[in-house]
Amino acid sequence: MTSTQQTRSVPVRIAATGIVSALGNGKAANLQALFSDRSSLPGRLSLSGFEEPIEVPYQGVGQAPETAEARLHWLLDQAVSELLADYPLSSQERSAIPVFIGSSCYGIGIAEEWYRSQYRDDPGNAIPLPLDGFSQISRHLQQVHGFHGADFALNTACTATANALLSASAAIATGLSEHALVIGLESRNDTSLAGFHGMQLLADEGMRPFDRCRDGLVLGEGCGAMLLSRCRPDEPGCLLWSGASNCDTYSISASNPDGTTIASVMEDALGKGGLEPSDIRVIKAHGTATPLNDDGEAAGMRRVFDPVPPFFSLKAALGHTLGSCGVMESLLVCEALNQGRLPGSAGFAEADPALGVAPLTGPVVAGEGFYLLNFFGFGGNNASLVIRHQG
């Protein structure tokens, strides 16, 4: 595959961001925690409704309210408020900007609370998941923050906001708007935790991406907000340069572990940016610390790159924030690049010879150039983004 065979992407500027996560509230707190000693283990949550008590590891946001609706709104408000503090938008601008929302849970935690309340009052007529959940985020953005433009909901598992970023970029490139707002939100809920526990994908303690002793993932929560804007290709700062998405039909749950489809989406993202593999300085890996995912990602990187560039994963520090990880991890990479550095992979201790690759174990200096960000989802949906950083 050569770059001349690709339809070139139109770069867009990452104009403003906001985040709240298990690492802290705001970009500064997140970066400080990301580059500090992150050896502490995640907290644990008890799952109700099972015959035996079940506790699972979880990277939660400690200061968030306990009730589901207040929690979802609080997470959203923190991220959006930080973004607007960086880039104030008039009420007229907000009313027209399209909004692209990616999540795995949306309002499912609210639905769980409604069901429990109904069940206590009238067990025979209680309705499981009594609301669709998809409108909770967009309605709050409209009512509280004044974003009344067209809104789009994406739910492609862990690639939801990576695909939202691609869709938002396309909206700007085609002239739909000068700006686009991308929101990724994952709020604590029992359905996600019980599902991953049932699939035996949760780690016993912390995550160890690409480690020989990796044994699963730890879910996390948080919210990321990113404002994309039309730009010139020579503008300084971080640009979303190009990207690609595909879907693998190898199995109902994952991409082909031989890495072929993962390699294909990386090659497509490079081609659409007019780039060669040698142009990539560092890779932000998806790195879920599950054997199948890390196997496939390592195999995919080896197929595309020779040698494989330095790479790292953020999930051992953040937790796996599922549908919101595309925007949350992308904005943290951009903020770190603006400081001229990138973090190592928390949780990694021992290389796995079967993978043939090993992540960065400590922070590195990062300069101008192109950076590849990978996101792979349940169901075999894959997305790769290319960020260009220029001073």
Residue found by looking up tokens 């995912």 in the block: 293
- What is the pLDDT at residue 173? 93
Residue found by looking up tokens 């496939």 in the block: 296
Q: Decide: 105 and 94 in contact? Cβ < 8 Å.
A: no
- What is the pLDDT at residue 249? 84
pTM assigned to the model? 0.95
pLDDT digits (tens, 9 = 90+) for 216-246: 999 999 999 999 999 988 889 999 999 999 9
Q: Where are the alpha helices (DSSP H) in the chain?
A: 27-34, 68-86, 91-96, 108-121, 135-145, 160-173, 190-198, 260-272, 291-304, 315-318, 325-338
Burial class (CB in 10 A: 0-12, 13-18, 19+), 96: middle
- Round the CA-based radius of gyration of the chain to a whole number and report it: 20
CATH number of the domain enclosing 147: 3.40.47.10
pLDDT digits (tens, 9 = 90+) for 274-301: 999 999 999 999 999 998 899 999 999 9
Q: Flag the least confident range among 54-58, 78-82, 102-106, 253-257.
A: 253-257
Sorting pLDDT into bands at 50, 70 and 90, what band is 255? confident
Give ∠ CA 353-357-361 in degrees, rounded to 5: 105
- And the tokens for 383? 């997305």
Q: DSSP secondary structure string, 175-223? A: TS-SEEEEEEEE---HHHHHHHHHTT-B-SSS--TTBTT---B-EE-EE
**pLDDT beyond 60 at 39:** no
Sorting pLDDT into bands at 50, 70 and 90, what band is 5? very low
What's the total number of domains in the chain?
A: 1
> Phi, psi at residue 243, to the nearest 5°?
180, 170
- What is the pLDDT at residue 77? 98
In terms of DSSP bridges, do strands 54-59 and 151-154 run parallel, antiparallel, or are they unpaired? unpaired
pLDDT digits (tens, 9 = 90+) for 363-386: 999 999 999 999 998 888 999 999
CA neighbor of 219 nearest in space, from 130, 295, 290: 290
Q: Decide: 12 and 237 in contact? Cβ < 8 Å.
A: no
Average pLDDT, the chain: 93
Sorting pLDDT into bands at 50, 70 and 90, what band is 28? very high
- Give the residue-averaged pLDDT of 337-360: 96
Domain of residue 223, residue span: 1-391
- What is the pLDDT at residue 2? 33
